[in-house]
Amino acid sequence: MATLSLLALLALVTRTSIANSPHHSQAVPIPRDPTSGAGVPLQPFVSYSIEFSSFPDFAGDLANPNTFSNNLLNNLGAFTGIKPLIRVGGNTQDYAVFNKSLDTALVGIVDPAKSPDYPTTITIGPKYFESYLTWPNTRYVHGFNLGRNGSVARQGLIDSVAYACKALEGGKLAFWELGNEPDLFKTSAQGPVRPANWNEQSYVDEWLYWTRAIRTALEKACPDLATDELYKFYAPSFAGTSNSLNPITTFEDDLDQDKDIAIISSHNYISGATVPGVTLQGTLMNHTSTVASIAKQLNESRLLAALPHDLNPDLPFILGETNSLYNQGRPGLSNTFGATLWGVDFNLWCVASNIQRVHMHQGTNYRYQSWQPVETNITAKGTKAPYYGNVAVAAFLGDLTNSAKLPSVVNIPLPSEREAAYVSYVSGKLAKLIVIQMEEYNTTAGNNFTNDYPRPVVQYDFQLPRGVQGKYAVERLSANGSDAITGVTYDGYSYNYELNNGLPVLQNNVTRGQTVKVGRRGKLSLEVPRSSAVIVCFQ
């Protein structure tokens, strides 16, 4: 059936089932001011991590820049005032060996026994760095290879510095990164690259040696980028908090003795693509699952803050790589609208918990990707459902360009693990409220409803701070169901590749421009269809 307008959907539900729909009997109180534990994002917050071997697909080169990708980045920048920060890294940064004689950007060999999704034997040439020149007003984190040992790989690392820094001059460089997930170097499923006795001190010694060697090469090629102010890293970029290297021990062993770490970067995946028992409702569309996953990073952040003063890094804590299910996601889960809603809750729980930036990871043909940058025989070029979650997060946070007016974000606890709510404050005043309704409501790929009941609407009642009254704009994130992979809109707009190369296109069959009224007593009643999200804008 054709996509229902939100107004028609609400009318249908009202006629048939609203009386029996879920409803919270007591109004949920919204604090007047942000609490002392409110989270404040970095500029930018919504960011991406792009697989090293996929970056030329996502960005293109000077002869063929990928304007579709750039349009999607610009869309997010229109909400926040600043485009996403792009980290170029992942597993394949530690397979990439630079050869200055190579006349193509990248040559990769896929070994299906190691990974069917990306090459594990990779050579890159000078042309690779052209991809950094295709997206205007974009800043990058460039990942250097630490994993590969041997004289060819090590010389290639140093040789690559001049090409990387020349491409990233003029304000394109945000930070460097050396090594991806070194806490898995001894245990990698693609093959160990360090001996069993390699420990935290071994890693620290190695990291210090090569970061100093990189700086020496940088001083020759791009001295302006070798200053104490600009020579900064994401680190330690561990895969998690409980692998073969302990992040706390790593800093106790004085990883930051040169004071060239700017951001503490950790990686997080809520579960794995092949882990038994992973479901859309129980794993992704589940606030309790998200809270439990992020708790490990929050504990790491607290332990780092408790280190002695000379070892305490006292730096922003971020997720430099994350997404739904490791091993590139699972079809039917990671590419659905349910994963879109998970991404909104996950990102906002992070910022409310003072994880100050989140890089959503993606690569060519990856199942959890926000968009597919090129046409392949596996995946069609296009905007994927998770991108709309990135849009909703950017819209909720709003303008991040004024450091004096960054939003403070607070989680508002709700009774069920299948729902979540957050509020933001700007200059101490209530700015926005978002409700994420994560109860499954499924469709088929053809958008024929498989449920034998109309889509329920959950009514949420909130008690707003005194003085908040009047009519306020409502923006909705919606699709035909939690398992839908197409037909997603935010505030009535589609960002589909097929419509206008990723630029926003207003849809005629989706209702927008709604308002809600708040009376003198400050009560707000909000109707949210199952498997959808809604933002109320108070400023």
Alpha-carbon dihedral sign for residues 118, 122, 128, 129: positive
Closest CA to 335 of 485, 490, 447: 485
DSSP reduced 3-state for 16: helix
Here the tokens at position 95 are 């397979």
The backbone torsions φ and ψ at residue 281, rounded to the nearest 5 degrees and listed phi first, read -75, -45
Rounded to the nearest 10°, the torsion over CA 346, 351, 355, 359 is 60
Helix intervals (H) in 91-193 = 151-168
Write down the residue that tokens 């990073």 correspond to: 297
**Cα–Cα distance list, 497 to 57, 68, 112, 494, 504 (Å):** 15, 7, 30, 9, 10
- The answer to whether 270 touches 283, Cβ cutoff 8 Å, is yes
Q: How many other CB atoms sit within 10 Å of the CB of residue 528? A: 22
Pairing outcome for strands 140-144 and 173-178 = parallel
- The answer to whether 319 touches 268, Cβ cutoff 8 Å, is yes
Greatest distance between any 2 Cα atoms in the chain: 73
Catalytic residue among 321, 419, 439, 475: 321
Q: How far apart are CA 434 and CA 473, in angstroms?
A: 12
Catalytic residue among 51, 130, 200, 206: 200
- The answer to whether 97 touches 145, Cβ cutoff 8 Å, is yes
Q: DSSP class of residue 26?
A: S
Based on the residue annotation, tell me whether 321 is a catalytic residue of this protein.
yes
Active site residues: 200, 321
